[in-house]
Chain A
Amino acid sequence: MSVIDVSREHGLILSRVEISRAAGPHGGRRILGPVSLTVPPGEVVTVMGPSGCGKSSLLALICGTLAPALTGSGRILLNGEDISPRPPEQRHIGILFQDDLLFPHLSVAGNLAFGLPRGLRGRRARRDRIEAALAEADLSAFYDRDPTTLSGGQRARVALLRTLLSEPRALLLDEPFAKLDVALRDRFRSFVFDHARAQGLPTLLVTHDPQDAASAAGPRLQIDAEGRIADGRRTGRDHRPGNIT
């Protein structure tokens, strides 16, 4: 398969992506990469590594919210298009963090409406869409509630719904299970993975919890403390689904 074929593939493809410091005393020093990987639709690829290895920066680069002190290079293809020149709000990439980050000044429904695309017009239609999403997640009773009055598990689910309602074309997970207690963690994990698979979203998970990776049941990529790919390196030249080079 040639490179051109790769770019036509659906899913999220990173091609020789690197992150380095932009300026200052360590200017130009590489902190991550080069990383190439393919996340096919509906599959979860896990990136593992110690804290500080640049995992979160990788996700920020994909979202377009990389700190100005860092610069990225390489190509980021989403469903065949290079999204790296676009501003974050036009990339259609959803992200979940450790914290739910629900906006405290908005109700549950207000948070979901914030995520809902402008294209869906009419108050009735928007409300229906939100109610349907809440009902499907067993959260119907919480429409008007203040997010701070919800339990941790409920908030986590609302956060995922908010992201999904924004109709992302790929999903990034920045250790979203780390702060939940063990019992909740398993349930929320399958909640996230089931939704991602059902919507056919290419999903990239960064974590340092092997349990997360096992549960994701997809390919793994290990990054060492210097930001290099430590193992799991394969020599295959093709970009088969989930393959990491």
Chain B
Amino acid sequence: MRRRSLLTYLPVITLGAFLAPVGAGLIGTWLPAFGYFPTLGGKSLSLAPWKTLFAQPGLAESLRLTLLSGVLATLAAFLLTVFFLAACHGGRVILAVRGLMAPLIAVPHAAVAFGIAFLIAPSGWLVRLVSPWATGWDLPPDVATVQDSNALALTLALIVKEVPFLILMTLAALEQVRADERLAVARSLGYGPVVAWLKAVLPAVYRQIRLPIYAVLAFSLSVVDMALILAPLSPPPLAVQVLRWFNDPDLTMRFVAAAGATLQLLLVVGAIGLWRLGEVVVARLGCAWIAGGQRGGDGRVTRAISAGLLQALVMLASAGLFVLAMWSVTRRWRYPDALPSALSLDTWSRQASDLLSTGGVTLITGLVAAVIALLLVLGCLENEWRRGLTLSNRALWLLYAPLLVPQVAFLFGTQVLAIQAGIDATWVALVWSHLLFVLPYVFLTLADPYRALDERYARTALCLGAGPARVFWQVKLPMLLRPVLFALAVGFAVSVTQYLPTLFAGGGRFATLTTEAVSLSAGGDRRVMGVYAFLQALLPLLAFVAALALPRLLAGPQAGRRGLQPRTA
């Protein structure tokens, strides 16, 4: 009986565990933003921090960069996702792409950013491959392709990182809205494939992917680690500038930073609001377009362009990873050689002890956070099943809250809270801060497969005399082994990728591969950057490989035939 009652409270505990720090962190940031921060002498509310904030030189440019990269990246990623899926629905490309998306999502943002920087920089691999024989460039061309003044490099990296996420979320939504039937009807009424998808499927699918899109928009507007590597630095995008103010030796700048963090939040809220408005307008126009009856062509051009662009993105990401690996084992690679002239493992062995400690922290934090998240999520889902509840739309918003609120807008407040609780710069704070972001992703990954499991299996098992606990451990968990391990790998990957939470909650005492790699970006030794960024990408990839391979190993050689993930009815 005790067990059941604990399970009943689990959803509340879980929501509290990750909503309370976000909420308290927001308030803890808003107060100093309005001058109230007794530790630093701010004892009354005032607008002074805001006045100082708006007087900061470069603020307008920071805002421009933020909005430009964030909105452009989201819009491009969304359009590419929609047109690719519309044009290639049911084709073999989709199958190939689906298999590639999960590993791409697993690669941390910083590693993607480094990979792209190493490729597209004036002295990057792409230029080296075609110089000097095709271009005549004996010296790297004097063009800013990285940290360019319009943050286009950052935008590109954001697109590379967000398209896989949007594609996977949309593919999952397509199954729910029975897209194949809708398409079959539209096609039989004479509509071309792309127009049929846009008119008959997209309106239903968009509802399902709205929250993921908002999450992408919020993330793109407030990304820090990628911006530190790819965006211009003076002035940088707002989130980076806010982080600088927080780290300013002049402690009174904390007030300005808090105001900036709040401005960042307003920016995201405003952008989401504008996007929502855009949805209304597009829906209005779209209804007229749908009623107009245009059938559209065979979609060959759309297919060629969107599939081509997507392949280019995949190649960019993989080539980036490859060039990271290559730099990590380079001894000498002079411009404009296409390949290193001498290879060695020197960089790896010189960094070995640092790698071991930062890698260890990364590994253990990720595993602990992922396991805790998995236990909480499994408990919530099992409770939901036993009590016959379903998650309401509002609860889903709560789940997305940590993904919609910019990290920089609440982590300072959370840190202040952690200091007061005496857990600042401890393991508990570090894992907890990662958990805020790991939990939603683990839930989103596991909820659908868990709910799709034919409940008659559990009913049969109950009627065979097995208690609910035995049904959970011996029937459901083994049948869901694949998705459970996959969710674990997702959780681990999300933890590895965290930059700001590690900085704030770790209080400088914990360095992960991500924080190390990003801090190296200022230095400029590509070999060391390559080592850290490659290892940072390798850990989550290994986690995914393990998640795919383990069920097979556990079940023995017949596993392939046994089909561990049945999804009936």
A-side residues, CB < 8 A to B, are 60, 63-65, 67-69, 87-95, 97, 99, 101, 103-106, 114-115, 117-118, 146, 148-149, 162-163, 166, 168
Q: Quick one: which of B459, B461, B478 contacts A105, CB cutoff 8 A?
A: B478
Is the Cβ of B562 less than 8 Å from the Cβ of A104? Answer: yes
| Least CB separation from B555: chain A residue | A105
Of A67, A117, A146, the residue contacting B465 (CB under 8 A) is: A117
Task: Decide if A104 touches B566 in the complex (CB within 8 Å).
Answer: yes
**Which residues in window 450-485 of B have CB below 8 A to A?**
454, 456-457, 459-468, 474-475, 478-479, 481
List 15 A-B pairs, Cβ < 8 Å.
A60-B459, A65-B462, A68-B389, A87-B462, A89-B467, A94-B463, A94-B464, A95-B459, A95-B460, A103-B457, A103-B479, A106-B478, A148-B563, A162-B464, A163-B464
Report whether A93 and B463 are in contact in the complex, using a CB–CB cutoff of 8 Å: yes
With A and B bound together, what is the CA distance between A101 and B462 in angstroms?
13
Please determine whether B566 and A166 come into contact, CB atoms closer than 8 angstroms: no
Chain A residues, Cβ within 8 Å of B562 = 104-105, 146, 148
B387 at interface by CB-CB < 8 Å: yes
**B462 partner residues in chain A, CB cutoff 8 A:** 63-65, 87-89
Dominant secondary structure at the B interface: helix
Hey, what's the 0/1 contact readout for B55-96 against A, CB within 8 Å counting as 1?
000000000000000000000000000000000000000000
Residues in B lying within 8 Å of A, measured CB to CB: 387-389, 454, 456-457, 459-468, 474-475, 478-479, 481, 555, 558, 561-564, 566, 568
Cβ distance B147 to chain A, nearest Cβ, rounded Å: 52
Report Cα–Cα, A104/B563, bound state, in Å.
7
**Minimum Cβ distance to chain A for residue B18 (Å):** 27
**Residue contact A105 to B479, C-beta cutoff 8 Å:** yes
Residue of A with least CB distance to B560: A146
By Cβ-Cβ distance, the 10 closest A-B pairs, closest first, are A68-B388, A88-B462, A105-B478, A166-B464, A65-B459, A115-B464, A95-B463, A146-B562, A101-B460, A89-B467
Closest CB of chain B to A199's CB: distance in Å?
16
User: Cα distance A184–B564 when bound, in Å?
Assistant: 27
Give A22's nearest chain B residue, CB to CB: B388
**Minimum CB distance partner of A62 in chain B:** B463
Q: How far is the CB of B464 from chain A (nearest CB, A)?
A: 4
20 new A-B contacts at CB < 8 Å, known A89-B462, A95-B460, A97-B456: A63-B459, A64-B462, A65-B462, A67-B388, A88-B463, A95-B463, A101-B457, A103-B478, A104-B479, A104-B562, A104-B563, A105-B479, A105-B555, A105-B562, A105-B564, A106-B478, A115-B464, A146-B562, A149-B561, A168-B463
CA distance in complex: A89, B463 (Å):
5
In the bound complex, residues from chain A placing their C-beta under 8 Å from that of B558 are 146
A115 to B, closest residue via Cβ? B464
Distance to closest chain A CB from B133 (angstroms): 58
Chain A residue contacts of B466, Cβ below 8 A? 89, 114
Q: How far is the CB of B450 from chain A (nearest CB, A)?
A: 16
What's the Cα separation between A114 and B371 when bound, in Å?
28
